[in-house]
Structure 1
Amino acid sequence: MIVQLSDLQVQMKQVESAVKEALRLAEAKGVSSAECSISHSSGISVGTRLGEVETVEFNQDGALGISVYRGNQKGSASTTDLSEQAISAAVDKACDIARFTSPDPYNGLAPAELMATDVPDLDLCHPGDQSAEYAIKQALACEKHALNLDERIVNSDGAHYGSHTGFRVYGNSHGFIGGYLQSRHNLSCVLIAKEGDKMQRDMSYSVARKMHELKSAESVAEEAAAETLSRLGARKVPTAKVPVIFRADVAGSLFGHMVSAISGGNLYRKSSFLLDHLGKPVLPEWLSIQEKPHIIGGLASSPFDAEGLATKDREIITDGVLQTYLLTSYAARKLDMQPTGHAGGIHNWRVTQQDNSLAQLCKKMGTGLLVTELMGQGVNMVNGDYSRGAAGFWVENGEIQYPVEEVTIAGNLKDMLANIVAIGNDTDERHALHTGSVLLEQMSIAGN
């Protein structure tokens, strides 16, 4: 079953009509302003384990949400039924709720002058085969290939295949209404290997807008097997202070904490270790980060944000200096600033890369820890204290020596970010933030 793009376009037009109707009904109720949105997704998810199909789920999600404002009082309601009667009932409920909420002077729509005036086609939707037969075939092929690669691979936590298409529509009483189609396909495999009486677990995955751009089932299986087998014979290491490399697939989390620290909610609550750092150095002077929301086919591309604000190319960090906070309209009013088009998240951040492979970063590090997995949530956003469980590899004289497990790494995020030594060219683009492996000058590690 291949979803037709034309069918999705028809569905989105119908939803746009429902959004317009909700806004019309809200206006007829005499509210000051209103906004309405729906994110719709449909598709299939299949899970297999040890050659058996464990789950087959057909998903269809999406509710119309309406928010109305009576002055500074806000009321919200939602409905999955898009009939005229259901939409009218949802508008009535939102209006009733607004009467009983406390006024908040920072409530309201984003500024009209910042609404997107153009919704470019970013080529984000490429429907694929969503039949159960095809999905099951992909998951089974991936897991079967993985289990036959090495006799030390003794078990599996399964393979998973998913394919979803949908759209997002948003409108408000400024007269803005816009929508765009999107798709996402994914394939993953989790394996368990055994050597002696010790077992290790690891995985690999692929994600893409276009089905044919997914890595093959065999490729995902081979990567999962290689990752899992490489962890056999893991040891603990002595407590020490050494350089640390965050491999590309976990390095995004390091900058992810920075994203949280410069986001409006943490800033106006004064719960950020980067409070009052706008215009100040937060990274080394050789390091910059740009945002590119309009990359054609990008996994985190978007023509407008969740409030209808136009997204645009933006300098986040230039030569190490923080250029902008990430503000919704509510946070912007709290901080007496302008919203930045980040309601709903960031869009294709690109971190400066250098011409260093991961092997070259290890050479540059000399002796230290290469982190390939992080565990736990020991991060204090107020003061930046960082302490998390980790696994990876011990490096000596620039060469990987053996796998490492049951290690705790600790530092302070403000210092960690400021003391980045180098970034590799092995960029991982499976997330909204694109970065290569990151070499940090020093962290405390606790093992034996």
Structure 2
Amino acid sequence: MTRTPEEISLALLDAARKAGADAADALVVDGSSVSVEVRNGALEHAERSEGTDLGLRVLLGKRQAIVSSSDSRPETLTAMAERAVAMAREAPEDPYAGLADPQDVARDWDLDALEMFDPTPEPSAEILMQDALKAEAAALAVEGVSQVSDAAAGFGTHRVHLSATNGFSGGYARTSRSVSCVAISGHGTGMERDYDGDARTFQADLRSPAEVGRTAGERAVERVGARKPATGTFPVLFDERISSSLIGHLLAASNGAAIARGASWLKDCLGEQVLPENLSLIEDPHRPRISGTRPFDAEGLPTRKRAIVENGVLTGWTLDLSSARKLDMAPTGNAARGVSGPPAPSNWNLSLTQGDKSREELLRDMGTGLLVTSMIGATINPNTGDYSRGASGFWVENGEITHPVNECTIAGNLRDMLRRIIPANDARTYLSRVVPSILIEGMTLAGN
């Protein structure tokens, strides 16, 4: 008889106790996914996967060990527990290891309000193939598109359950639905590519495949004739498609694990201004239908809405239990983990305050500079915040786009860059990271 993730996790805890563990938690994830790729109007690749993964963490005092498996038979659970306890006996002590206090764990949550699971029937492989074909056809219909390198559609569902000897037991299910397209314009050495895609929790919210394909095609055609820009100091406008990467660098620097190691350019900035005074960065793990939504974290602590940056001021770190103990602070309910590793701090849904101007108005205001729509590679110094990335996009003269550019590098220092960002008002509010286009003046640009 097939057992549920909850039943498997509780059986793992029972096996851990019998094997001699002082404390333990068990994470079980099961799910299925199907993906379809098409090329030249025909099926290129189709894949379906199903599986159950389980992880057990045991503690003997301050020693801990983790084992994982994809086999949930009773004899395997017993072997896992015995192996984990034996490993823990040989592990070095970690003074910061341990489960959450029982009084701190999440007790009540409303999964219906979070809308993490789409109850509509799973789409068939044929439906997914038709979506991918529609996206490909729409891209090829754009004048100037020479080929489509990839058009795909997919669906996935997974269930998660976490149980621990501190009394916590909770789980949830999540669905995802996606469509994407990569179009190529030009020929030979003059080929350019660009993409579009959409991924949603609910099928009904997904943008149409035709819109995705058409947008990918139009973006690829716009890049024809790209050349290197001038070298110098110019304003740079980060398009909404890639602007969240800037906020991602701030999140990485405010991660409790980095702070505890002393490897962060933000380590001495708590309570100081890191963004313009009119901007806040809000984390909200309870937004309905959003991919980063969850009622509790990977240590069973309740998730909550909080301001990481409020009116430009950095208010706190992103903490799991271990990093919070190292820093003598309270955890923020931000632990994430897989079945084979320990918890680590991670962020959920983020929103940056939007501005009062459109992207077009910011382009007009910037005069002459670079609109970045794609970035590759990165050299980020975690201790100083020095920033350098390869970029491509469009050159702007007198507030208007004149031609596409590529093979250039933009550079600056994150500490200085983030304090003078100017946001547009074009963020897509259905994303997990809601970040509009961002203008930063006076960046170093290396091209010709």
Which residue of 1 is the match for residue 309 of structure 2? 317
Choose from 7, 12, 18 the match for 1:22. 12
**CA deviation digits over 1:151-185, x for unaligned, max 9?**
x2112211011100111111111100000110011
Rounded to whole Å, the distance in 2 between the matches of 1:441 and 1:117 is 48
1:265 matched to 2:257: yes
* Secondary structure in structure 1 of the residue aligned to 2:259: helix
Which residue of 2 is the match for residue 134 of structure 1? 127
* Secondary structure in structure 2 of the residue aligned to 1:161: strand
1:40 matched to 2:41: no
Rounded to whole Å, the distance in 2 between the matches of 1:341 and 1:443 is 36
What does 1:155-304 correspond to in 2, within 5 Å?
Answer: 155-194=147-186, 198-304=190-296
**CA deviation digits over 1:121-170, x for unaligned, max 9?**
111011543422111111122112211221x2112211011100111111
* Secondary structure in structure 2 of the residue aligned to 1:401: strand
Deviation of 1:196 after TM superposition, in Å, equals 8.7
Contact 1:68/1:76 (CA < 8 Å) preserved in 2? yes
* More displaced 10-residue stretch of structure 1: 82-91 or 404-413: 82-91
Which residue of 2 is the match for residue 7 of structure 1? none
Rounded to whole Å, the distance in 1 between the matches of 2:330 and 2:29 is 26
Which residue of 2 is the match for residue 433 of structure 1? 433
Structure 1: runs of 5+ lacking an equivalent = 1-9
Structure 1 pair 119/83, CA: closer, same or farther in 2 (3 Å)? farther
**CA deviation digits over 1:316-361, x for unaligned, max 9?**
1111001110011111111111111111232211110012111011
Rounded to whole Å, the distance in 2 between the matches of 1:299 and 1:397 is 39
- What is the one-letter code of the residue matched to 1:103? E
Deviation of 1:375 after TM superposition, in Å, equals 0.5
- What is the one-letter code of the residue matched to 1:101? A
Which residue of 2 is the match for residue 387 of structure 1? 388
Give the TM-score normalised by structure 2: 0.94
Contact 1:183/1:209 (CA < 8 Å) preserved in 2? yes
Rounded to whole Å, the distance in 2 between the matches of 1:123 and 1:274 is 35
Deviation of 1:313 after TM superposition, in Å, equals 1.0
1:446 matched to 2:446: yes
Which residue of 1 is the match for residue 341 of structure 2? none
1:409 matched to 2:401: no
1:147 matched to 2:164: no
- What is the one-letter code of the residue matched to 1:139? A
Contact 1:128/1:163 (CA < 8 Å) preserved in 2? no
Contact 1:287/1:352 (CA < 8 Å) preserved in 2? yes
Rounded to whole Å, the distance in 1 between the matches of 2:326 and 2:149 is 46
1:70 matched to 2:71: no
Q: Which runs of 4+ in 1 moved over 6 A?
A: none
Which residue of 1 is the match for residue 424 of structure 2? 424
* More displaced 10-residue stretch of structure 1: 323-332 or 82-91: 82-91
- What is the one-letter code of the residue matched to 1:184? S
Question: Aligned residue pairs: how many?
Answer: 436
Rounded to whole Å, the distance in 1 between the matches of 2:24 and 2:17 is 8
Give the TM-score normalised by structure 1: 0.94
Contact 1:50/1:158 (CA < 8 Å) preserved in 2? no
Which residue of 2 is the match for residue 399 of structure 1? 400
- What is the one-letter code of the residue matched to 2:265? F
Rounded to whole Å, the distance in 1 between the matches of 2:96 and 2:9 is 24
Structure 2: runs of 5+ lacking an equivalent = 337-345
Deviation of 1:429 after TM superposition, in Å, equals 4.3
Which residue of 1 is the match for residue 106 of structure 2? 116
Which residue of 1 is the match for residue 342 of structure 2? none
Contact 1:239/1:446 (CA < 8 Å) preserved in 2? yes
Contact 1:110/1:339 (CA < 8 Å) preserved in 2? no
Contact 2:285/2:348 (CA < 8 Å) preserved in 1? yes
Deviation of 1:268 after TM superposition, in Å, equals 1.2
Q: Percent identity?
A: 38
Which residue of 2 is the match for residue 4 of structure 1? none
Deviation of 1:364 after TM superposition, in Å, equals 1.9
Rounded to whole Å, the distance in 2 between the matches of 1:392 and 1:149 is 20
Contact 2:290/2:431 (CA < 8 Å) preserved in 1? no
* More displaced 10-residue stretch of structure 1: 280-289 or 131-140: 131-140
